[in-house]
Amino acid sequence: MTTRHQSFISVVGQIQSNRNIRELAGWLGGLHTEISGHFTDYEFVLVNNHCDQHAIDEVIDPLPETLRKNIFLLNLSAPVSRDNAFLAGLDRANGDYTVIFEFDFTAKPQIVTQLWEYSQSGADIVYLRAKERRLPLSGLLFYRLFYSIMQRYSGLHLDPLAHHTRIISRRALNSLLRLRENSRYLKANYALVGYNTAWIEVEEALYPDPESSFGEQFRTSLVAITSFTTFLRTLLLWIFLFSVLVAATAIFNAVKVKLTNMDIFGEHVESLSGWAFLVVLMSTFFAITCLNLYIMSIYLSNIYSEIKNRPLYIIESVKRY
């Protein structure tokens, strides 16, 4: 006899294409069979990311009453990014544990139980980890560059092979929902809130989102980099240091030509009246301009951090003796 765990499970799914609608019945049916046999309470929170509601109703209406009564459909008025759509479902989830379950795993509803069982070892967030990311070479290089910047300049541990599918405990979800930012990158938010995190490796590879163009992915990466890292501020610092080096070289070359009629490459150059002065003046102001940009970037970065109003700390638990 199967043991039913005394936990309330919320399953969040996102409908963003006609393919998802076609797979919806199998997705719900498999999860219902799996979850109803292992947990006492559960709910399905479906986020309709601007798909045809009538087509969704045609799939859900014939389902058994025992399944339909646990379904909540959230219809978004306009299409949003995948992360923001998932956030709408997370806001509505009421469970002790919330599972984001992608349609890629429709044939494996037992993953929900596996995630829950793994979380009982002390992990508040357990995600599925792919063995590889299948993309063209240009796409792989783009993702490697993105994650290398995020890892180095954000101080967050981001797994480049993490699926969206994961289980989140109630306390971790409450902390996650406190980060009320307009620019969302959920994988970075998971890392930002902390808590014990674990992963389960699966055979399913990571594929690009068919509903998202490269332009949208590029814009998302820029939002994540500017929101969670100091990369651009560091880049401006290096630009300033490079400008100082260039200015110093130009000034040295101008003075050398003025005094010896020989440049730093050993070539004979006729010195023109006022030329050395203009080079020194332009080089100095070039370096000063880059310095001002760097100083302004520090102030803007501090202002941006204050506006986001992220919590200074998150208490994981309190123990009394």
Lowest-pLDDT range of 138-142, 165-169, 181-185, 195-199 = 181-185
The encoded tokens of residue 266 equal 């050993």
Query: For 39-77, how does the pLDDT look when each residue is reduced to its tens digit (9 = 90+)?
Result: 989 999 998 888 888 898 889 889 898 898 998 988 888
Checking if the pLDDT of 314 tops 50, the result is no
Residue 53: partners with Cβ closer than 8 Å, 6 or more residues away? 73, 75
Give the pLDDT band (50/70/90) at residue 181. low
Domains of the chain, by residue range, sit at 7-228, 231-308
CA 211 → CA 16, 37, 174, 214, 221, distances in Å? 8, 34, 29, 10, 16
Give the pLDDT band (50/70/90) at residue 240. confident
CA distance 21 to 14: 10
CB-hemisphere CA count at 13 Å for 274? 0
Residues listed for the chain: 321
CA 102 → CA 53, 149, 176, 209, 299, distances in Å? 19, 27, 19, 12, 40
Q: Which residue has the tokens 């997705």?
A: 27
Give the pLDDT band (50/70/90) at residue 168. very high
Region 180-184 average pLDDT = 65
CA distance 122 to 106: 27
Give the pLDDT band (50/70/90) at residue 321. very low
Q: What is the pTM of this model?
A: 0.76
CATH 2.40.50.140 corresponds to the domain 7-228: no
